[in-house]
């Protein structure tokens, strides 16, 4: 089985895809947390300054659990990421991607001291020249990634590939931080994902039928306050992305 610590591919400078629109929505209430969990990019131009996309998995079971790291208990460090791909157990699966931070801002998904010699000439402070994608996956008990999750993640990367002229590296978190991190984990089908990014892709809606879901349940979720979501969330301390902001 391939090791997530080796997950990397580089995008050709030419043959960029045409602009893509993502099926994304802001995670409910997430804007309230940007002030403490993102920062202004140190690069001058956030379009030209984006060089990498980092792929993570949450080691948790829900989108709300993942977003809770953006608003931790007082005194605890926060983390953040630009997009979140819901799990197959969630009503959003097959329907939408959660946007969680502004692309022009640096989210905090990789420790500042981490780097890899094959990624942007070994530069550190990855957050300042990358975008971060989290995929909801337990990373335990053989939890697999759904076809839609893999396709949605590839679609985000293609969106970035079309938009950011200097984007070159697509890498796992484990590649950058192999001592501490293994995400997105050995179950993530990196080769298939690479093919979806590099090849012409069918529209996301064609790839997996959305799970049948009660429309009012989806609306209810969207309008629920993040505080309510957090009240139901019990495993925040187990999330792998805690303590990244050091
Ligand atoms: Zn990660």
The domain tally of the chain equals 1
Residue 22 lies in a domain: yes
Task: Report CA(91)–ligand 1 centroid distance (Å).
Answer: 23
Question: Is 240 domain-assigned?
Answer: no
For helices 190-198 and 147-163, give the axis angle rounded to 10 degrees.
40
Distance from Cα 174 to the centre of ligand 1, integer Å = 7
Q: 64 to each of 121, 149, 241, how far by Cα in Å?
A: 35, 17, 14
pLDDT of residue 60: 93
Measured in angstroms, how far is the CA atom of residue 125 from the centroid of ligand 1? Answer: 15
Q: What is the pLDDT of residue 1?
A: 77
Q: pTM to 2 decimals?
A: 0.84
Q: From ligand 1's centre to the CA of 215, what distance in Å?
A: 32
By CB neighbour count within 10 A (0-12 exposed, 13-18 middle, 19+ buried), where does 172 fall? buried
216 CA → ligand 1 middle, Å: 32
59-84 b/e (C-beta count within 10 Å ≥ 16 → b): bbbbbbbbbbbbbbeeeeebbbbbbb
- What confidence score (pLDDT) does residue 156 get? 96
Residue 181 lies in a domain: yes
**What confidence score (pLDDT) does residue 235 get?**
32
pLDDT of residue 205: 53
**What's the CA-to-centroid distance between 180 and ligand 1, angstroms?**
10
Whether residue 245 lies inside any domain: the answer is: no
**Each residue of 57-72: pLDDT tens digit?**
999 999 999 999 999 8
**Residue-level pLDDT at 2:** 84
DSSP string, 101-133: S-TTEEE--S-TT---TTSGGG-S-GGGGEEEE
Q: Which residues of the chain have pLDDT under 70?
A: 200-246
Cα 222-228-230 angle, rounded to 5 deg? 105
Kindly give the distance from the C-alpha atom of residue 113 to the centroid of ligand 1, in angstroms, as a whole number. 14
Residue 117's contacts (CB-CB under 8 Å, 6 or more residues apart) are none
Question: Rounded to whole angstroms, how far apart are CA atoms 19 and 121?
Answer: 28
Q: What is the CATH number of the domain that holds 72?
A: 3.40.80.10
Does 111 fall in a domain? yes
**Residue 200: inside a domain, yes or no?**
yes
pLDDT at residue 202, rounded to an integer: 55
* Ligand 1 mean position, distance from CA 106 (Å): 15
Structural domain includes residue 31: yes
The pLDDT, as a whole number, for residue 3 is 94
Residue 239 confidence (pLDDT): 39
- What is the pLDDT, as a whole number, of residue 44? 82
Ligand 1 centroid – CA 57 distance (Å) = 6
Residue 36's domain comprises 4-208
Does residue 13 lie in a domain region? yes
């Amino acid at each position: 089985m391939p090791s997530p610590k080796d997950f990397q591919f580089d995008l050709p400078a030419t043959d960029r895809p045409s602009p893509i629109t993502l099926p994304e929505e802001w995670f409910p209430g997430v804007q309230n947390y940007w002030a403490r969990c993102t920062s202004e990019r140190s690069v001058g131009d956030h379009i030209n300054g984006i060089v990498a996309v980092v792929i993570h998995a949450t080691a948790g079971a829900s989108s709300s659990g993942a977003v809770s790291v953006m608003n931790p208990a007082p005194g605890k460090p926060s983390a953040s990421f630009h997009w979140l791909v819901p799990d197959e157990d969630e009503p959003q699966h097959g329907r939408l991607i959660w946007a969680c931070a502004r692309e022009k801002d640096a989210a905090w998904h990789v420790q500042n001291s981490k780097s890899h010699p094959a990624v942007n000439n070994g530069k550190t402070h990855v957050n300042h020249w990358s975008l971060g994608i989290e995929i909801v996956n337990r990373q335990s008990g053989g939890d697999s990634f759904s076809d839609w999750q893999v396709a949605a993640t590839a679609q985000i990367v293609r969106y970035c590939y079309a938009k950011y002229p200097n984007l070159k590296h697509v890498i796992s978190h484990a590649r950058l931080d192999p001592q501490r991190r293994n995400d997105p984990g050995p179950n993530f089908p990196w080769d298939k994902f690479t093919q979806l990014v590099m090849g012409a892709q069918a529209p996301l809606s064609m790839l997996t039928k959305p799970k049948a879901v009660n429309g009012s349940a989806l609306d209810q979720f969207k309008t629920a306050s993040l505080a309510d979501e957090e009240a139901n969330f019990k495993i925040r301390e187990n999330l792998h992305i805690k303590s990244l902001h050091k």
